[in-house]
Amino acid sequence: MPRDFPCFVLVAEHGLLVEFGERIDPGIHARVLALDAALAAAPCPGFQEAVPAYASLMIRFDPLATDHPAVEAHARTLLSHALLPRPPTPREVLVCYDADLAPDLAEVARMTGLSAEAVIAAHLAGRYEVYMYGFAPGYAYLAGVPASLHLPRKPAAQRGVPGGSVLIAGPQCLVSTLTMPTGWWVIGRSPTRILTRDPARPFLFDVGDPVRFRRISRAEFEAGRDG
């Protein structure tokens, strides 16, 4: 049976999850970002943070200062007005597709029926947007991978994938920040610093920012990595 959105789900004693849908969709995510911006501009008593995801927003609050009904009432009041998300900031991520930095590029080409250069061209042509952070520090999940490159995750994760790896799976893309295992497809590597080392702004992206990838040479990659 279809669900009516938005839905409000109680999470423990300190959280309220506002669900706007059940799929990756720009219109749904725009509503998530709009409520996020509205809460930042007009927080409810006891508000601590809002955590946006693909189709939902988690509102964390101090249970000693407020409760679920009050937070839900505040969110409903905000939603009853025309809301706009924060203005996004376009971002650029550099990527080198040399074979040793893109160990899965040939397999992605084989599975999609494209040449390696066509895979690269399709990846560069994608219209990406940061939808959420998760899994590890600075892991910004981007939607916008062209349909021609949609592949399921690998059957098993690979260990020791370097930070800076450009990964795709289904409609999603991300740039890893740490050496970690992954079951996504590694099609390049980037010298762009996602972890900024700035405590006031630890990550390069804000949720909602559009992202474009720009191809660079190996020499540019090495220079950027050393910079």
State if pTM tops 0.95.
no
CATH of 7-79, one of 1.20.1250.20, 3.30.1360.40, 3.90.1150.10, 3.40.50.720: 3.30.1360.40
> pLDDT tens digit string along 54-103?
999 999 999 999 999 999 999 999 999 878 778 899 999 999 999 999 99
In the chain, where are the structural domains located?
7-79, 91-226
Contacts of 73 (CB under 8 A, 6+ apart): none
At the fourth CATH level, the homologous superfamily of domain 91-226 is: Cyclophilin-like (2.40.100.10)
Structure confidence at residue 83 (pLDDT): 80
User: How many other CB atoms are there within 10 angstroms of residue 17's CB atom?
Assistant: 16
